[in-house]
Amino acid sequence: MSEAAVADTRRLNAKPQDLTDAYGPPSNFLEIDIFNPQTVGMGRARYTSYELRMRTNLPIFKLKESCVRRRYSDFEWLKNELERDSKV
């Protein structure tokens, strides 16, 4: 086997991390938690919704914390939009 076919497994050179970097808050973060599913309705009118909680310190967002309830179909829409934009 030639050397070109073998993956490069050398370690990257990284700067040493001090305790402040290791345990301090991240400089920018976006946390999204999905929990508390609730199934509503009966038969064909039945659906499941989920509670979403978002926390961030990114300046692009007006609110630093928010909580909403969304149906599963909203997640399908988001997935489709992300896939559509990534194929460009």
Distance CA 68, CA 46 (A): 20
Instruction: For residue 27, give Cα distances in angstroms to 14, 35, 54, 68.
Output: 18, 26, 17, 25
pLDDT in tens, 3-20: 555 666 677 777 787 777
pLDDT band of residue 88 (cuts 50, 70, 90) is low
Say which DSSP state 85 is in: H
Q: Delimit the domains of the chain by residue range.
A: 27-84
- pTM of the model as a whole: 0.58
In CATH, the architecture of 27-84 is 2-Layer Sandwich (3.30)
pLDDT in tens, 28-53: 888 989 999 999 999 999 999 999 99
Distance CA 50, CA 70 (A): 5
